[in-house]
Amino acid sequence: MSNININIEVHHVTRVEGHGNIVVNAKNGVLEECRLEIVETPRFFEAMLRGRPYTESSHITSRICGICAVGHATASLRATENALGIEPSEQTVLLRKLNFHGEILDSHVLHIYMLVAPDLLGVGSVIPLVQIAPEVVLRALRIKKLAGDLCAALCGRHTHPIAMAVGGFTHYPTTDELLALRARLVDARADMDATVALAKTLPWPAFTRETEYIALRKEDEYAFIDGTVTTTDGGRYPISDYRKVTNERLVTHSTAKHTAHKRESYMVGALARFNVNHDQLHPRAKAAAAELGLTPLCTNPFLNTAAQVVEMIHSIEDAIQLIDQLVARGIRPEPLPAFPGKAGEGFGACEVPRGILFHNYPDAGDAGAGV
């Protein structure tokens, strides 16, 4: 083994929300290089926001990602509201949580069924999967359509929400729309049971890597919006102290910044959220985790996909409960808050499907310039 030389360069890997390269070099059995190069050009959304009215921030930043558009919009709104001292109403909070579950479902089903399952079932993509397992693909499409329709009912369209605004909404779902979605969410339990059954058959690689896991946490719910930045290595930070955790640094081989906290790196995303917040999962989600053999502290990064299955079940169940709350209290149009006359620095954070997202807007120094 000592005389083995390896030189691998894989260009344009396309499953990283853009594209990247993989480089692995070994000489005489010794690994010399192993890196992921993100070579996609930065888009500088920070510069796009300068001088724009605060009412436009969430609409601009939602375009950062077509998968996490709701997450970017929500984090932007929370940062803006924090800067302006605006507290959203109970109805707004409930609607945002419900909308967020739509995005979690939409992204997770895409990753589980369209990206991971074909690899582990021995086919090159979801296209040949249609031929060998059409029921699997149809199930995925049903869940994805439900997720998209949920977002569209609340925010005006399936992606890049247009109805969420600072302090509220500009469009509201009707009671009939919510009840129709609730019925579909209940029906989706059967698809989720089948998803758990599928996940149990997938040949997960037997690999572990102990690391630090970081996620938002709340003491009264499984956190997706707001919370405290929490690490499994010990330590909790308010969102305003996010730089103590991110510690971003530039590297020569990648346009993506690297981060570290108490170790050389840490993991975020579904598995990190599960490890930090497993006690806050819905009972049906806890049961699914047990069926998949997923227990905290899980250190197999491949089981991030299993954690996504668990989160999908939690999102469906919590969405049903949120709809019940909204219907019981009644949907009422609410006026958007007026600009309070002064601004400050604002911080917002959400758990988008692949990890914590932070938005930080400094004081513009001019009430008319936005945040």
Domain-located, residue 361? no
Nearest in space to 191 (alpha carbons), one of 312, 38, 274, 319: 312
- Is 55:166 a contact under the CB 8 Å cutoff? yes
Residue 12 banded pLDDT, cuts 50, 70, 90? confident
Summarised one tens digit per residue, pLDDT across range 221-252 is 999 999 999 999 999 999 999 999 999 999 99
Q: Which residues on neighbouring strands pair with residue 169, listed in sequence order? A: 164
- CA dist 107 and 1 (Å) reads 42
3 state SS of 123: coil
- Give the pLDDT score at 1: 54
Given a cut of 50, whether residue 141 has pLDDT beyond it is yes
What gap in Å lies between CA 266 and CA 214, rounded to an integer?
7
One-character DSSP codes across 85-101 = T----HHHHHHHHHHHH
pLDDT on residue 363: 81
Q: Is 320 left (phi over 0), alpha (psi -120 to 50) or beta?
A: alpha
Same domain, 56 and 31: no
User: Which pLDDT value is given to residue 368?
Assistant: 35
Residue 124 — pLDDT band, cuts 50, 70, 90?
confident
pLDDT of 369 > 70? The answer is: no
In the chain, % helix, strand, coil (3-state, to 5) comes to 45, 20, 35
- 32 has pLDDT over 60: yes
253 part of a folded domain = yes
pLDDT digits (tens, 9 = 90+) for 56-98: 999 999 999 888 999 999 999 999 999 999 999 999 999 999 9
Is 173 in the same domain as 316?
yes
Residue 309 domain-assigned (yes or no): yes
For residues 95 and 31, state if they share a domain.
Answer: no
Which of 299, 327, 269 minimizes the C-alpha distance to 104? 269
Average pLDDT over residues 341-369: 83
pLDDT of 370:
33
Q: Which domain, by its residues, includes 30? A: 6-38
Mean pLDDT of 159-164: 92
Task: Report pLDDT digits (tens) over 251-303.
Answer: 998 888 899 999 999 999 999 999 999 999 999 999 999 999 999 999 999 99
Q: Are residues 220 and 151 in the same domain?
A: yes
Number of domains composing the chain: 2
Residue 156 shares a structural domain with residue 300: yes
CA–chain centroid gap for 206, Å, is 25
Show the CA angle centred on residue 217, arms to residues 192 and 280, nearest 5°.
Answer: 45
Q: For the CA atoms of the chain, what is the radius of gyration? A: 21
Phi, psi (rounded to 5 degrees) for 339? -60, 125
Residues 325-338, mean pLDDT to the nearest whole number: 96
pLDDT above 70 coverage of the chain, percent:
97
d(CA 151, CA 157): 7
